Amino acid sequence: MQVKIKEALDIMKDNGLKYTKRREEILTYLAEENRYIGATEVFDFMSQKYKGMSYDTVYRNLKDFTKLSLLEETELMGEKKYRFHCDVCEHSHHHHHFICLSCGATREIDMCPMNFFTEQLPDCEITDHRFEILGKCDKCLKKSNS
């Protein structure tokens, strides 16, 4: 895990963002959680360690990390959520995610439906895409059924 965090910190520094312990803590927290997390949850975690840290500081860092592709960003139920970007880890192949709407846990999906859409839209230029499957993970299903 530390190697992944170091790689992310190097990318951050190479792009002009100064190293701070707080930035490292945010990245470490998101990498260890390995799920989509809202800015409020990140702020709650950080404010326990750093009294007086502002929500704006946390949010600004999340946005900066997203611009550098250190974090993935998605919107779930009207809220932006973030997770440590898979490409910073050992995964560099194109993939998508299943996202649990209850706990935010993610699982990789090693296929992409874009071939289907490219065939359906032969006269269009597709410049980007986003594909996520939303639902409840097995752990959350067990909790709700008991």
Cα 126 to Cα 129: distance, rounded to the nearest angstrom = 8
One domain, residues 63 and 8: yes
Between 1 and 105, where is the model more confident? 105
Identify the H or E element spanning 23.
helix 21-33
pTM given for the model: 0.76
Distances (CA, A) of 92 to 85, 96, 110: 10, 12, 12
Task: Identify the CATH number of the domain in which residue 35 sits.
Answer: 1.10.10.10
pLDDT digits (tens, 9 = 90+) for 12-43: 999 999 999 999 999 999 999 988 999 999 99
Domain that holds residue 12: 2-88
DSSP 27-64: HHHHHHH-B-EEHHHHHHHHHHHSTT--HHHHHHHHHH
pLDDT in the model for residue 18? 95
97 labelled ligand-binding: no
137 labelled ligand-binding: yes
124 labelled ligand-binding: no
Task: Identify the CATH number of the domain in which residue 119 sits.
Answer: 3.30.1490.190
